[in-house]
Amino acid sequence: MSENVRPTKRALTDLGRSFPPLDVELHRVDDALIQKAQALPAEVAAGGAERVRSLSDRVWFKIKTNDLRGAAGQVDTPAEFSSESSAGLPSAAWWIVAAGHRQSDTKNRDFYARLEAESRRAAKGVPASVNSTHLVPTREDYRRWELEQIALVVIAMQSKVREVIARAAQTGKVWRASIGTFEIGALVKQVDNESYLAVTADGFWDAKALAVLLDAVPGVSAEDWQIEPSEVMGITPASGQVIYSTIIPADSLAAILNEVNDIFL
């Protein structure tokens, strides 16, 4: 089970925020209430969390920081997004489902009082006195999480591709690395004041994976790459291996070297 506490779109809206770019995990959003909520799973495990008692149909806990208030809890992940599906999300996760400001001086405007009133209205037509089902994450929340995970995998994969290229440029030799079930290699050679780059791909039969690999090099478009059916730059394609080559601009290679030096050295 994920121990990060993610805000739903509803909670983000309550906080005056919208979905950030896909490379930002929602539990890392720079917000006081969201960051306070990250301690909730440990507080619950230690028996120190405070229940939202007025919402008796589900287990929700209070989050408090300064004048901000929130409600959060564990929610089972729908089957279409769970670990048994292609999305591979945890079977259950922690979510901030609503947020607002403390207004204890006016009881009917207090966050938890308003949340109770909202859930009582939602219970009309059902036997329960309160119904907080409308607070649980929606399909949009899970779809955002799924896309976020895909984006983070792509970022990590492209970073590894650039690292391999940088290592090849630094050593003048073929540098290889594994990415999941795939293996890539790179060789950089200087010819007539131009840098030639060859990248090998083993197991990259998926078109999307190939696109990610080829898009990892700044300043080099998909049209700049050429597939090499035979030996190039001293590399002969092995069985099941594909080789792509291109001229890499000097500033692009410098950017890759700077990135790798900053992160990996």
What is the number of domains present in the chain? Answer: 2
Query: Over the stretch 200-212, which tens digit does the pLDDT of each residue have?
Result: 888 756 677 778 8
Query: Over the stretch 22-62, which tens digit does the pLDDT of each residue have?
Result: 999 999 999 999 999 999 999 999 999 999 999 999 999 99
Q: Measure the CA–CA gap between 254 and 169, rounded to whole angstroms.
A: 10
Does residue 178 sit in the same domain as residue 89?
A: no
Predicted confidence (pLDDT) at residue 150 exceeds the cutoff of 70: yes
Does residue 81 sit in the same domain as residue 115?
A: yes
**155 occurs within a structural domain:** no
Q: Measure the CA–CA gap between 220 and 254, rounded to whole angstroms.
A: 13
**178 occurs within a structural domain:** yes
- pTM > 0.75: yes or no: yes
Does residue 120 sit in the same domain as residue 218?
A: no
Query: Over the stretch 170-199, which tens digit does the pLDDT of each residue have?
Result: 999 999 998 777 788 999 998 888 999 999
Q: Of 137, 171, 196, which residue is a domain's last?
A: 137
Does residue 8 sit in the same domain as residue 133?
A: yes
Does residue 25 sit in the same domain as residue 129?
A: yes
Confidence of residue 265 (pLDDT cuts 50, 70, 90): very low
Selected residue with higher pLDDT from 97 and 128: 97
Beta-carbon contacts of residue 146 (< 8 Å; ≥ 6 apart): 81, 87, 89
Q: Of 137, 152, 176, which residue is a domain's last?
A: 137
Contacts 24+ apart (CB under 8 A), 123-129: 123/57, 128/57, 129/56
The percentage of residues in the chain with a pLDDT greater than 90, rounded to a whole number, is 62
**194 occurs within a structural domain:** yes
Mean pLDDT, residues 139-150 taken together: 94
Query: Over the stretch 102-137, which tens digit does the pLDDT of each residue have?
Result: 876 566 678 999 999 999 999 987 777 999 999 999
Predicted confidence (pLDDT) at residue 167 exceeds the cutoff of 80: yes
Does residue 184 sit in the same domain as residue 260?
A: yes
Does residue 128 sit in the same domain as residue 165?
A: no
| Domain residue limits at 109 | 2-137
CATH code assigned at 200: 3.10.28
Query: Over the stretch 240-258, which tens digit does the pLDDT of each residue have?
Result: 778 899 999 999 999 999 9
Does residue 40 sit in the same domain as residue 77?
A: yes
Does residue 101 sit in the same domain as residue 184?
A: no
**77 occurs within a structural domain:** yes
Does residue 85 sit in the same domain as residue 169?
A: no
b/e for 127-153, b at 16 or more Cβ within 10 A? eeebbbeebbbeeebbebbbebeeeee
Q: Of 106, 137, 168, which residue is a domain's last?
A: 137
**153 occurs within a structural domain:** no
**143 occurs within a structural domain:** no
The answer to whether 7 and 148 have CB atoms below 8 angstroms apart is no
Does residue 22 sit in the same domain as residue 108?
A: yes
Q: Residue 40, class by beta-carbon neighbours within 10 Å (0-12 exposed, 13-18 middle, 19+ buried)?
A: buried
**142 occurs within a structural domain:** no
- When the pLDDT of each residue in the chain is averaged and rounded to a whole number, the result is 89
Q: Name the least confident of 15-24, 94-103, 140-149, 174-183.
A: 174-183
Does residue 115 sit in the same domain as residue 14?
A: yes
**154 occurs within a structural domain:** no
Mean pLDDT, residues 13-24 taken together: 95
